[in-house]
Homo-oligomer: A and B are copies of this chain.
């Protein structure tokens, strides 16, 4: 099956899907969109994904999957090995919750279109946008660090197998680097990021490793 990933190297939710594809050992065509140039607002893209957002994963049969966590759950269901979620319901609830702390509390507030709109609506300059970004990262990463001081945390967020929560953590820490947020403030997050960064599936999905990296 040929998969085509519509994405952007620096997009955090794109990074998530790239990691998941790598973990599952799936190759894909890489299609890049310059977000700052509005390329995902072009009519052809909107016909594919009316939300005008990357990532979108296009299948050979034309079906377009959207929303990074939904795409990753679909990958995990249709290609179960290696798994990205634990085998028990309580474990899955924990991993999904950790992932959603990032995917629902940090990233939605900090993506490019939101930062740009802060400029439009409130005249926020680059420094004010950066402060906004750091505020929401700090708020949730403080809580995430506490949640990770839990016996279920292992080498990675949940035991010793990298999964959905790790994918979100890894992508967000890369995003944080752009705003000079030192992840060392959160020792467990920092330790897990370093462990993940040693894995080829993660490292190869990181923003600087992509063909469209500036």
A residues with a Cβ closer than 8 A to B are 50-53, 63, 65-67, 69-71, 73-74, 77-78, 89-90, 92-93, 96-97, 99-101, 103-105, 107-109, 114, 117-118, 121-122, 124, 128, 131-132, 135, 140, 142-143, 146-147
Contacts and interface: CB of A to CB of B under 8 A. Distances in A.
Given A52-B143, A135-B117, A135-B121, A90 B63 contact: yes
A69 to B, nearest CB: 6
Given A117-B135, A122-B122, A104 B93 contact: no
Contacts of A99: 70
A6 to B, nearest CB: 14
Contacts of A122: 118, 122, 124, 128
16 contacts: A50-B143, A50-B146, A51-B140, A51-B147, A65-B93, A67-B97, A67-B101, A70-B99, A73-B96, A104-B104, A104-B107, A109-B109, A109-B114, A121-B132, A122-B122, A122-B124
Contact of A70 (B50, B100, B140, B142): B100
